[in-house]
Amino acid sequence: MATDIERIRRQITTLMACHTPEELAKRLEQRTENVPPRVPGGSRISPSAIERRWSLLGDRGDGVRDAILDSWALEHAGGFERNIEQYIGTAKIPIGLAGPLRINGLFGQGDYYFPLATTEAALVASYSRGAALITEAGGCASMMVGDGVARTPGFAFANLEQVGRFVLWLTANMDQLKRIGEGTTRYGTLVETRLTIEGNHVYLSLEYRTGDAAGQNMVTIATQAIFDHILANCPIKPAQAYVEANASGDKKATMQALVLGRGRKVTSEITLTADLVRRRLHTTPEQMSRYWQMSALGGVLSGGIGVQGHYANGLAALFIACGQDVACVAEAAVGVTRFEVTSDGDLYAAVTLPNMVVGTVGGGTALPSQKACLELLGLSGASHGHRFAELCGGVCLAGELSIIGALAAGEFSRAHARLARGKRIAATPAPEPGDADSAARSDPDDEHV
């Protein structure tokens, strides 16, 4: 987190040109006078409660309130009570339709047109191009190969002797702890426990299968029951204890999540012929593989966790559209992309995502727009959690093929300029573009990044 000294000096010079040192110090002081009223809290949504919240904001100009609290947001307000507190309206994010994407999965089989909610121009076009390419090639294999969502309570003791006795008690009582945790849910199953001892601290990782739900709330409630039982019944009392000790990897990118996984682990692959790569991506398998090699090293040099191009783009847009917890993109976007040239000169491409915390029931999946997007996919409700995860893998594979193809072909900037700014710029020639099909180059649906 260090900052270059010259940058600091420039910043100080800029500030000192406007303020004296005394004025700057005054601006940073805590101020307790004239504290404005708090926002009326709770999840209660009624016209009067909404009005009280808006009254705090005063006159913000024409159209501000109407843009956030339009007639639809007011009419459907009651349906949001389990998903939001201190409600004042809704944010409108455009949804684009990408595809078709053919998934040949262990759980999901079919051709999907998938919704992406985003404000980033070129994103839907990019994923749609990659999806259509996958479909033209016969579809991608997509496998959900594991699932489990963890919570990790932490316990602090006076010394290692207490730690040892605590661990002995835990190991002797795990069957009972498992029954207590699973007794809080109809769908959750405690499948794995791990202990980490660090000095006089103990981290207890509890990993659950969560059915068709993403399961964040499910595992929290189950872990709380286990945690409470430990504190009430274990003869070795910790000095401090916390139901989550920040060791689960919840909503953050971690090496633990990359290696062990959290949520549903998915891997997806496809082999594309050299001819198809040349016609649709305007480059060659060799050039895409070379780009991947350099980008993999670039990821290592920059300290990235995993190696991938832009999983977060597609996942965030899909999560918003389909009612997932968008903050889980922080961990879901950890993974590995790999491109190789086969012995036949074709392109092998694979993505592995070990942290897909997704579901088709619970959370935001029952909200009107989000439920509609899941129904559009045919994945709303029970029995679809694994299918949705396999779709996420295919979506990420589509995005990787499209963006790396564009970078290898020298078309990355052109598409962004045209779609985001309405301008056309000349493409940078790729080092080895191959004999790209001229008709494909002129097709606007084939030049999107």
Q: What are phi and psi of 316, to 5 degrees?
A: -60, -45
DSSP 108-172: -EEEEEEEEE-S-TTHHHHHHHHHHHHHHTT-EEEEEEEEEEEE--EEE-SSHHHHHHHHHHHHH
Q: How many Å apart are CA 393 and CA 358, to the nearest integer?
A: 12
In the residue annotation, 386 being an active-site residue is answered as no
Looking at 325, 390, 446, 447, which residue is catalytic? 325
Assess contact for 76 and 368: CB atoms under 8 A. Answer: yes
The reply to whether 432 belongs to the active site is no
Q: Number of helices and strands (H, E) in the chain?
A: 17, 11
Q: Quickly tell me which residue has 């036949």 as its tokens.
A: 344
- With beta carbons less than 8 A apart as the criterion, state whether 318 and 115 touch: yes
CA distance 449 to 447: 6
H/E element holding 202? Answer: strand 201-209
Residue 203 Cα to chain centre, angstroms: 25
Q: Which of 81, 120, 269, 286 is catalytic?
A: 120
Question: Could you give the CA distance from residue 319 to residue 110 in angstroms, rounded to a whole number?
Answer: 20
| 62 flagged as catalytic | no
**Residues identified as active-site:** 120, 325, 416
